[in-house]
Amino acid sequence: MENLSAFAYLIAAVCFIMSLRGLSSPDTARRGNMFGIAGMVIAIVTTLAMPNVLSYELIIAGILIGGAIGTGIALKIQMTALPQLVAAFHSLVGLAAVFVAGAAFYAPEAYGIGEAGNIGAASLIEMSLGTAIGAITFTGSIVAFGKLQGIFRSAPVTFAGQHMLNAALGGLLVLLVIWMCVDQSATLFWAIVLLSLAIGFLLIIPIGGADMPVVVSMLNSYSGWAACGIGFTLANTALIITGALVGASGAILSYIMCKGMNRSIINVILGGFGADAGAGPAAGAGGEDDRPVKAGSADDAAFLMENASSVIIVPGYGMAVAQAQHALREMGDLLKEAGVKVRYAIHPVAGRMPGHMNVLLAEANVPYDDVLELEEINRDFAQTDIAFVIGANDVTNPAAKTDPASPIFGMPILDVEKAGQVLFIKRSMASGYAGVQNELFFRDNTMMLFGDAKHVVEDIVKSME
């Protein structure tokens, strides 16, 4: 039975690897999801078939309750709320790791890792690391959820000596883990849990809204490593492999996004790329601005685009909020029929989670070949007649290149200001999620189209028809 379960777990692991490979491209994402589902079914069935299962009733009850909650959320959740949903689910993974570690600590005999007060050193190290990472993931994900949901303000929360405090708490955590491996005290176990919960909170609060997509990706990595650590404690091959895959893939994605934003991966891990502690208001911060802007109508936009030879559409979170992707695809189709070259430019952190815009455009059946990443299309803006920006604020802000005092300084942006004409859909002149006023609004070649993104695009489509 042991050899059979190991073989089944190996098959599940292969399915998970194929799932990650499939999810790396929009063309194969659906197939990747199917591999992931198949791998999880195999892992669950294999675990239930193990001879050391004590209560099928409790397991089935847990599956039914969790499945019902998950199904209800999946049916009701809006696409715009996916980032905070992902963050919330990450918190549950971290909390589960803490619970499993607690169960293993108080009843080690059930897990074959020794007796209470006499747990093997290797198991204690694995358990402590899984507990610490899980608790950090839990509170960090809760803070990320709150910022994305608007419960907490999106601006960085900083105070003097913040980094020194985080470093001191991190050092204390290491000492507690070492001490617990020697003493095996329940007091030390819960001290590790409480200290890790505090560290998770302190790591995420100094990170601003513009950087939240990277945070979500990094928390995904943390949740994977927490599961991996607990997998070693349980001697569960599937959990070890799955956790390592999630942890490694999340870390790689975070690294890629950090390169795309000109950020340091070390600073992400340490929660250090928010605003500097004690800094005053950033230059260019959002607020009232009495500079004049050029405003236009849907008819103006339709006329300009129909007479252009090339249009690059830049979607952002405003498109997601308005659910304007279907109307946008219809507008793109009409422009193509008129002989206009239409492409879509995606910034790595457009929206509030990695791939947010890609998912929305795929939902509207926008051809994959028309959707290009920043590094593929940025050089083309200078030769483009019109850049059509729909709710993408911070990722198009020239202040990221020109204002060293700006919180987004150094972040690569889409060079839409180099296009012949910029059409910018926005509800108002309010600043973006990072709290920074967009200098693009006041450029001579920018025309603002004020209103709900979906309604504005629908009016443009009517004008074209």
Q: How confident is the model at residue 41 (pLDDT cuts 50, 70, 90)?
A: very high
The Cα 376–Cα 75 span in angstroms is: 35
Domain hosting 37: range is: 1-76
Q: Give the mean pLDDT of 78-107.
A: 86
Answer positive or negative: Cα dihedral of 64, 65, 68, 69: negative
Q: What is the pLDDT of residues 153-184, one digit of tens each?
A: 777 777 888 888 888 999 999 999 999 988 88
Instruction: For the chain, give percent helix, strand, coil, nearest 5.
Output: 65, 10, 30
Q: What is the pLDDT of residues 250-263, one digit of tens each?
A: 888 888 777 766 66
β-strand 310-315 against 118-119: which pairing, if any? Answer: unpaired
Of the listed 183, 290, 333, 394, which one is catalytic?
A: 394
- The share of the chain scoring above pLDDT 70, in percent, equals 91
Helix (H, G, I), strand (E, B) or coil at 425: strand
Q: How confident is the model at residue 345 (pLDDT cuts 50, 70, 90)?
A: very high
Residue 64 shares a structural domain with residue 87: no
**Which pLDDT does position 317 carry in this prediction?**
83
The Cα 85–Cα 408 span in angstroms is: 25
To the question of pTM greater than 0.85 for the whole model, the response is no
Q: What is the pLDDT of residues 108-130, one digit of tens each?
A: 888 888 888 888 888 888 889 88
Query: What's the CATH number where 336 sits?
Result: 3.40.50.1220
Active site residue 183: no
Sheet holding 371-373, edge to edge: 371-373, 341-346, 310-315, 386-390, 421-426, 446-450
Choose the final residue of a domain: 14, 47, 76: 76
Residue 304 shares a structural domain with residue 234: no
Instruction: Please tell me the total count of domains within the chain.
Output: 3
Residue 251 lies in a domain: yes
Residue 63 shares a structural domain with residue 98: no
